[in-house]
Amino acid sequence: MDVCSRRILGYSVADSLRAEHALSALQMALTLRGVSDYHQTLIHHSDRGSQYIANDYTDTLDEYGIRCSMCNDVLENAHCERVNGTIKNQYLTYWQKDIHSEAHLHGFVARAVKTYNDERLHSSLGMTPRAYEAQLATVSDNQRPQFRIYTIAGNQERPDNQLALQWSR
C-alpha cells in the first residue's frame, strides 16, 4: 500500500505466511510502479514478520534501492492493518457466502482491491486512491502535500523520530 495515496499496489492470497507469498505481492507492486531503482528514496515499512525479514524479500528491496523499515509496535503499521481489516471485514465478509474455493477467494480479493482503489472514496482523500495519484501526477514535486508519520516509543509520540515523506511516482 502506498501510504500517501492509500492505493493497494500488491497483494497475495495464501494459506500461509511464507515469504514467497509476501514476495509475490511485493513483485506485483514493483511491476505496477515500473521503477527499477528508487535510489534509497522509497521506504518499505512492515511488521517484523518472518516473511518480511527473509533473505529473498530483503534482497529484492535492496535490488530496487528501497529502504527497509520495520515496526516495534503494531500501532506503527496502522495504515496497512487498517486496509487489511477493510478488505477482510467490509468486502470479503459481505461476499463470503459466494466464496466456495481458493480460486473464488482470489477473484473476490482482486475485486475488493479494484473497488477499494478505483471506486470507493477514501475518507482522508475525498476521492479514490487512483484518482488521488492521478491528481498528484499533475503537480510538481514541490507542490505536492507533505505528511508526517510518527513512530511510537514507549507509547509516547516521538516528534524527533518523525519522517517527512512525499508521494512520488
**pLDDT tens digits, 101-156:** 999 999 999 999 999 999 999 988 999 999 999 999 998 888 887 766 665 554 44
Measure the CA–CA gap between 12 and 154, rounded to whole angstroms. Answer: 33
pLDDT at 163 over 90: no
| pTM (global) more than 0.85 | no
Measure the CA–CA gap between 5 and 1, rounded to whole angstroms. Answer: 8
Q: What angle do CA 165, 68, 2 make, to 5 degrees?
A: 45
Grid coordinates standing for 141? 514535486
Measure the CA–CA gap between 110 and 163, rounded to whole angstroms. Answer: 32
